[in-house]
Structure 1
């Protein structure tokens, strides 16, 4: 079989600057196969099992060259959340529940909305980079900075009035009051996301992901040190946790900006007046992306809110938040894979390589499912022990062990679902997926969870089972759509999108 390097047709590719799509991967370690220019720079058709093995090897190398650093960065960033919960959990159960609600509900609300708006950049920057339109990357990023900063001001009242909102949603007074105080203290962290997310997407679209891993690694260690200093040494309690949370978030955002300004001369041409043009169409595209992502993130956020109405909310919310925290660690890995497959698909569609886009999707879904099964096995093996990391309470540890089988099932589902969402972002399918998410999550999953949780004796288990059913239905629908996709049509749509967003009038015009 002759396998293409994909260094023709359509300009740049994943490796950047008209190079190979394999990024930094050493092609000399590929299987013994002749690597030559294929049809239009795309892969040739797969004809036998040997072809399948070769494609799997090459696509795995390309995927993990991008996904590895991204996943590591996101795991480090999530570690900032997780270690905040761990340190606070050793202060007391009420403090753990309050901070868990603040981070799982309000912080996730803003995280989901801003990440969703920023994900519009994945489609535009990824396809523009694949087509070789490097001059537009910095302009898109600056527009996103402006739009996301404005969105932060719209979200801020939720933080300021968190206490009455949580009481209205049925949370116990002492938990709601402490969660509200913590939420006000972490408002600076929310504004850091308006800078963080666009810079991430800018770098990811060009596969400049190694720096993201290093920034995340350093920030995590600094955050742990600050938590120990503020909480254990100075005794600042939850206020110390909030201060560490804010400082770490801004360190990450500013470090990414510094790298772009100093070392990304291809995509960064300086501040441009073009960032102030076409803002409203960009807002509409960002909102469409936000709706898709938010419906996913807020879905699992809502389980914490529903659980707060059950009897013994401290144990119910605390045990569930620990399970969601562990699930989040796996979820952050797959968000990394989500970002990588989004880059792969958008770059290849922009480069007019439909087979490469298709094969990358198939390989990524299979590998992600295998990883999900591995995590499920680990959770079931350690179900009676892993909660000790988060809490000293024996009652809390017992409640977590009781929920472990649902956590294991969720981990398998969440290994595939983010990958398909990444495909949707890379291909520009956000509006379609938003409708699917709305139906599966909020018409099927949440009502079923409410029914099982409150009308039966299942309690928190019933809520979680219902939500698993919604996730399963959504995953099956998206898998079917992906299987039936005509990738040649997707290439044409990508070309039309680039013409719309990168006309001749939108050339670099620095300030």
Structure 2
């Protein structure tokens, strides 16, 4: 739902209406936090919902427990996503990159410390994820409030509560497109739970989803870049520049997709071992 902010903030920035960026971001916070409150009940009742769908008892129990632990991350993402679009519209990419790199380094360190060293398992993973997302939010808000965004942030405003319904309609339309794309893949994991050896099937598909997630981040980067560029150019009434930008990013993304695909095909027998303690030996085995 926060994807609507790409269009609104980008066009406002291109049209020189800099003061509206902060208002749009706050309006998105109101809508996304309200939506997160409703989605929270799916997290709370995840275990009975999965059991109702016919998933195995072990998977449902563990997923239900993990969902409860991840409720703070749900609200953190509702705050973080509009912030990222707010900064992207102003091409504040390097600030976002440095903050993300710092949090990633801490995330990896504490994930190893809590999950492997202290043996906290997925409870440690949930704790680190929650902390990482909220650290991103706090760090980026400090950057914004410090004055780095100029007139784009003039403080909290009651204008955030104006025209909420129109903003909701645009947000829902944006959400439908992205949700359909993501649900294609996540539905596979759900169906894997119906297979004979459910735990192994879910594990195998989760590895595939991780690989997919890493590679999709490249596409998300291209998507963010073209959304900002096109909306800025349209806001500035430069349609031909916007069209040229689309051509450039399509060609670039196709070439990048080919490179990633070739890399995965070449190392298809090596990278699965990264997700398991089991390593290839001289003996043959099947998986």
User: Aligned to 1:130, which of 14, 19, 22?
Assistant: 14
Alignment-derived partner of residue 252 in structure 1: 136
Alignment-derived partner of residue 208 in structure 1: 92
Alignment-derived partner of residue 255 in structure 2: 370
TM-score normalized by the length of structure 1: 0.54
Alignment of 1:162 onto 2:52: no
1:202 to partner: Cα distance: 0.4
Alignment-derived partner of residue 476 in structure 1: none
On the 8 A contact 1:127/1:350 being kept in 2, the answer is yes
Alignment-derived partner of residue 105 in structure 2: 221
Structure 1 residues 5-84: aligned runs within 5 Å: none
Alignment-derived partner of residue 190 in structure 2: 305
Structure 1 distance, partners of 2:38, 2:182, is: 19
RMSD: 1.5
Alignment of 1:325 onto 2:210: yes
1:120 to partner: Cα distance: 0.7
1:323 to partner: Cα distance: 1.1
Structure 1 residues 230-379: aligned runs within 5 Å: 230-262=114-146, 263-379=148-264
Structure 1 distance, partners of 2:3, 2:246, is: 18
1:350 to partner: Cα distance: 0.9
4+ runs deviating over 6 angstroms: none
Structure 2 distance, partners of 1:229, 1:392, is: 17
Structure 1 residues 70-219: aligned runs within 5 Å: 117-219=1-103
1:398 to partner: Cα distance: 4.9
Gaps of 5+ in 2: none
Alignment of 1:386 onto 2:271: yes
Gaps of 5+ in 1: 1-116, 400-511
1:234 to partner: Cα distance: 2.2
Structure 1 distance, partners of 2:239, 2:116, is: 55
Alignment length (residue pairs): 282
On the 8 A contact 1:186/1:246 being kept in 2, the answer is yes
Bigger RCO of structures 1 and 2 (CA < 8 A, at least 6 apart): 2
Per-residue CA deviation, residues 51-101 of structure 1 (Å, 9 max, x unaligned), is xxxxxxxxxxxxxxxxxxxxxxxxxxxxxxxxxxxxxxxxxxxxxxxxxxx
Task: State the structure with more CA Rg.
Answer: 1
1:270 to partner: Cα distance: 1.0
On the 8 A contact 1:169/1:305 being kept in 2, the answer is no
On the 8 A contact 1:384/1:398 being kept in 2, the answer is no
Structure 2 distance, partners of 1:131, 1:246, is: 37
Structure 1 distance, partners of 2:121, 2:199, is: 19
